[in-house]
Amino acid sequence: MRRAPARGAYDRGTIDAILDEGLVAHLAFAVDGQPYVIPTLHARVGDTVYFHGSAASRMIRTLTASGPACLTVTLLDAMVLARSAFHHSMNYRSVVVLGQARAVADPAELLVALEAFTEKLVPGRWDEVRRPNTKELKGTRALAMSLDEASAKARSGPPVDDEEDLELDVWAGLIPLGLAAGDPVADPKLPYGITPSAVVTGWKPGGR
């Protein structure tokens, strides 16, 4: 980590917390020398991070062929407003995972990955819904990446202005950012009388 190395972290506690809180990852890979970055759902189980897609997906086919990959997750915590334009920034937490993607061939591990994806979205939901059937499992592919080569980077705290700018008549500080959940909205096809469980109504960002 060459740019702002003091913001880097390599301990698994920091890395795991960011991966677990982030809802969207971006996966970078190349097809015939052409780079792509695709948003994807991810889920961590122990020392492995999983992502998945259709069996017909070009991303899945490419990475199954042992192409190198880079998976990133970023959380934004605040806008940082300084007294000078140059020192405006953001408070953030991020993780970068590098490595080879491994196809999940074991049916039992595939179920573990699919359960992790469901639980990542809404903890407790896996036990409320129908499990994947044979046709769905056949059409789904999951890939795994080891967390052996992963790092975190974060910025926190107030703006860092130049000493000579501290007396400027300009407001400086933070605008906090956060993900908020609204009230559940029922599917129009839902039969009358079925209400959301506490698993659904109790969901909140960062509560995984």
Name the residue ranges covered by the structural domains of the chain. 5-161+171-178
Entry pTM: 0.90
Evaluate whether 94 touches 170 at the Cβ level (below 8 Å): no
Nearest of 54, 56, 62 to residue 36 by alpha carbon: 62
Whether 49 has a pLDDT exceeding 80, the answer reads yes
> What value does the mean pLDDT of the chain take?
92
pLDDT of residue 9: 83
Question: Residue 55 burial (CB < 10 Å; 0-12/13-18/19+)?
Answer: exposed
pLDDT of residue 64: 77
**CATH (residue range 5-161+171-178):** 2.30.110.10
Nearest of 143, 153, 41, 45 to residue 99 by alpha carbon: 143
Average pLDDT over residues 48-60: 82
Rounded CA-CA distance 95/75 in Å is 9
Nearest of 26, 104, 30 to residue 68 by alpha carbon: 30
Rounded CA-CA distance 50/28 in Å is 14
